[in-house]
């Protein structure tokens, strides 16, 4: 496990975008060998998406032979609703790059059979050869995707009821009216993400500092689902200074001393 500590959310976005670009370019994707990328939504990855669009427009990266799988989607929200994750992904990222729409996979929260939708999503990931790099963010309560506190650490893609903390956190996307926030969602499971060859988790802001502390300094606990990634053989936590406020000084110094190594990880 690596913890990369950067100055602010902008540098987190830039570092993570450069890492994604390097991983894809080093993989050399082609028609018979697609790079499979797991993607998050929310405010944290926006800076990364903006940088990836910039690098694409500069000719530094192509998504022509990339397949994507998104983490989650609300149940019952129309695809064209401004707060649906379909809308978010197409407007914030996909329409600005050269990805084939057929290679984009986002859970359908309006499917007639939600259980079958989740089962098919798992099958599509397997058919694609598994996820090469799964990127995620976390909530203040340490949940990844919509795997709320108490979720099984071996869970698969499923329908999930959202916790009160998540409803309150997401109310800002619905005019701060919590009654408008959808109460259930489709989400990949912790086990689904753990199956990826590599996982990169983005954490920014002081309001997520306790979650980062729980993720890396305490034991694995299903009440803090992100802590499961201590057990993954290739996990990257990318955070800003504010997110380290609850960490021990010794922990911060240890990982900051590796900054030269972390810089080499994004050398093109």
**Domains of the chain from N-terminus onward:** 2-265 (3.40.50.1360)
Supply the pLDDT for residue 154. Answer: 98
What's the rounded Cα separation, in Å, for the pair 249 and 159?
39
| pLDDT beyond 90 at 163 | no
What's the rounded Cα separation, in Å, for the pair 193 and 133?
9
Per-position DSSP letters for 22-61, written without gaps between them: HHHHHH--BTTB-EEEEE--SSTTHHHHHHHHHHHHTTS-
Q: Which has the minimum average pLDDT: 23-27, 46-50, 151-155, 159-163?
A: 159-163
Q: What is the mean pLDDT of residues 186-210?
A: 98
Supply the pLDDT for residue 170. Answer: 83
Q: What is the mean pLDDT of residues 233-237?
A: 98
Instruction: Judge whether 217 counts as a catalytic residue.
Output: no
Q: Please report which confidence band the pLDDT of residue 180 belongs to, taking 50, 70 and 90 as the band edges.
A: confident
Supply the pLDDT for residue 166. Answer: 84
HSE on the CB side for 74, CA within 13 Å?
24
Annotated catalytic residue: which of 73, 122, 132, 141?
A: 141
Q: Provide the b/e sequence for 165-202 (b: ≥16 CB within 10 Å).
A: ebbebbeeeeeeeeeebbeebbbbbbbbbbbbebbbbb
Q: What is the mean pLDDT of the chain?
A: 96
- In a 3-state reduction of DSSP, which class is residue 239? strand
- Tokens, residue 27: 């993989």
Supply the pLDDT for residue 144. Answer: 96
Instruction: Judge whether 222 counts as a catalytic residue.
Output: no
Instruction: Judge whether 72 counts as a catalytic residue.
Output: yes
What's the rounded Cα separation, in Å, for the pair 156 and 221?
17
HSE on the CB side for 10, CA within 13 Å?
0
Supply the pLDDT for residue 181. Answer: 87
Q: What is the mean pLDDT of residues 201-209?
A: 98
What's the rounded Cα separation, in Å, for the pair 153 and 30?
34
- Tokens, residue 142: 């340490």
Residues in a beta bridge with 69 = 38, 105
Q: What is the mean pLDDT of residues 198-207?
A: 98
What's the rounded Cα separation, in Å, for the pair 244 and 5?
8
| pLDDT beyond 90 at 172 | no
Q: How many helices (H) and strands (E) does the chain have?
A: 9, 10
pTM: predicted TM-score of the whole model, two decimal places: 0.95
- CB count within 10 Å of CB 258 equals 14
What's the rounded Cα separation, in Å, for the pair 159 and 72?
10
Q: Please, are residues 107 and 118 in contact by the beta-carbon 8 Å criterion?
A: yes
Q: What is the mean pLDDT of residues 48-65?
A: 98
Angle between helices 9-27 and 46-57 (to 10 degrees): 50
Annotated catalytic residue: which of 14, 73, 117, 148?
A: 148
| pLDDT beyond 90 at 58 | yes
Cα–Cα nearest to 9, from 207, 219, 267, 225: 207
Annotated catalytic residue: which of 56, 86, 105, 143?
A: 143
Q: What is the mean pLDDT of residues 50-61?
A: 98
Annotated catalytic residue: which of 14, 72, 132, 195?
A: 72
Instruction: Judge whether 143 counts as a catalytic residue.
Output: yes
> Strands 104-105, 66-70: parallel, antiparallel or unpaired by DSSP?
parallel
Q: Please report which confidence band the pLDDT of residue 30 belongs to, taking 50, 70 and 90 as the band edges.
A: very high
Q: Please report which confidence band the pLDDT of residue 255 belongs to, taking 50, 70 and 90 as the band edges.
A: very high
Q: What is the mean pLDDT of residues 168-194?
A: 92
């Amino acid at each position: 496990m690596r913890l990369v500590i950067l100055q602010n959310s902008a540098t987190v976005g830039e570092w993570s975008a450069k890492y994604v670009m390097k991983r894809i370019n080093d993989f050399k994707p082609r028609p018979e060998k697609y790079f499979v990328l797991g993607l998050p939504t929310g405010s944290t990855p926006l800076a990364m998406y903006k940088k990836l669009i910039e690098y694409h427009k500069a000719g530094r990266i192509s998504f022509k032979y990339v397949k994507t799988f998104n983490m989650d989607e609300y149940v019952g929200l129309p695809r064209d609703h401004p707060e649906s994750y379909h809308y978010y992904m197409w407007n914030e990222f996909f329409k600005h790059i050269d990805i084939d729409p057929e290679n984009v996979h986002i859970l359908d929260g309006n499917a007639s059979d939600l259980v079958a939708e989740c089962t098919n999503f798992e099958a599509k990931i397997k058919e694609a050869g598994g996820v090469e790099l799964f990127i995620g963010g976390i909530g203040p309560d340490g949940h990844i995707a919509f795997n709320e506190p108490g979720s099984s650490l071996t869970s698969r893609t499923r329908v999930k009821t959202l916790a009160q903390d998540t409803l309150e956190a997401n109310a800002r996307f619905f005019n701060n009216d919590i009654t408008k926030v959808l109460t259930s969602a489709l989400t990949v499971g912790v086990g689904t993400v753990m199956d990826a060859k590599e996982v990169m988790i983005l954490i920014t802001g002081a309001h997520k500092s306790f979650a980062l502390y729980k993720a890396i300094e305490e034991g694995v606990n299903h009440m803090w689902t992100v802590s499961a990634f201590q057990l993954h053989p290739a996990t990257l936590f990318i955070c800003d200074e504010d997110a380290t406020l609850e960490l021990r000084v010794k922990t911060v110094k240890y990982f900051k001393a590796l900054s030269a190594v972390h810089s080499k990880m994004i050398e093109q």
